A = this chain, B = another copy of it.
Amino acid sequence: MRSYGQYCSVAKALDVIGDRWTLLIVRELLLQGPCRYTDLRGALPGIATNMLADRLRELEAAGLVRREEAEPPVATTLFHLTDAGADLSPIVTALGAWGVRYMAEPAENDEFRNHWFAFPASLFLHDREPEGPPIAIELRTTGRPAVIEVADGAVSTRLGTTPSPDLVLSGSPNLILGLLSARLSPDRAREAGLEIKGDAGVLERLTG
């Protein structure tokens, strides 16, 4: 990317991470941890393969990503964030918080991955009863399910499943989001087509 040529820290930041796709690659590495090339391509629907290769090289040259070759039997490359790359977390979080205003209307042809629930989950959910028992909520739309786990007052989201979830939400991303943001009540969400299994009461502990 061409430099803005301004001695200002905002412009300098954008010189490094202002290119198209760059921050979305960082988003994936923040959410998923070290990734293979194909993991990234799968989590970044719409990216051209040469674009991903270009951006990874640039991120590496900028010292934000480190490339690590696995041992011969595995024979794959893992892309990690460096410390400087992990420091981008507040920027990505701030973007995610600001961008939720555009999530209210259902996405028409947008792609979705369940681990993207992490942003609205940590934005909207707060444990009002930190001493209470841990909570696990499983989210199912398409592809790999995700789990929101609440323990010791902290909310975290990851891809995967959990043995005995307190609550399982199955349906469109938009409806699940409506429920998490308390824009929709459980009854409304159910009417609109969301399948809710388990104890919907845990949401009151989290969205109050």
Contact = CB atoms under 8 A, between A and B. Distances in A.
B13 A98 contact: yes
Given A10-B92, A91-B94, A84 B101 contact: yes
Nearest to A8: B116
A76 to B, nearest CB: 25
Given A9-B97, A9-B100, A103-B7, A24 B14 contact: yes
Contacts of A13: 95-96, 98-99, 102
Best-buried of A7, A18, A110 by chain B (most CB within 10 Å) = A7
A199 interface: no
Contact of A94 (B4, B94, B112): B94
Chain A interface mostly: helix
Interface residues on A, range: 35 or more
Contacts of A90: 94, 97-98
Contacts of A93: 94
Interface string A25-60: 001000000000000000001100000000000000
Interface string A146-173: 0000000000000000000000000001
A24 B4 contact: yes
A91 B96 CA distance: 10
Contacts of A84: 101
A6 B98 contact: no
6 contacts: A6-B24, A6-B110, A12-B102, A12-B103, A13-B102, A18-B23
| 8 A-B pairs with the lowest CB-CB distances in the bound complex, closest first | A13-B99, A9-B99, A7-B107, A7-B110, A12-B102, A8-B116, A12-B99, A13-B95
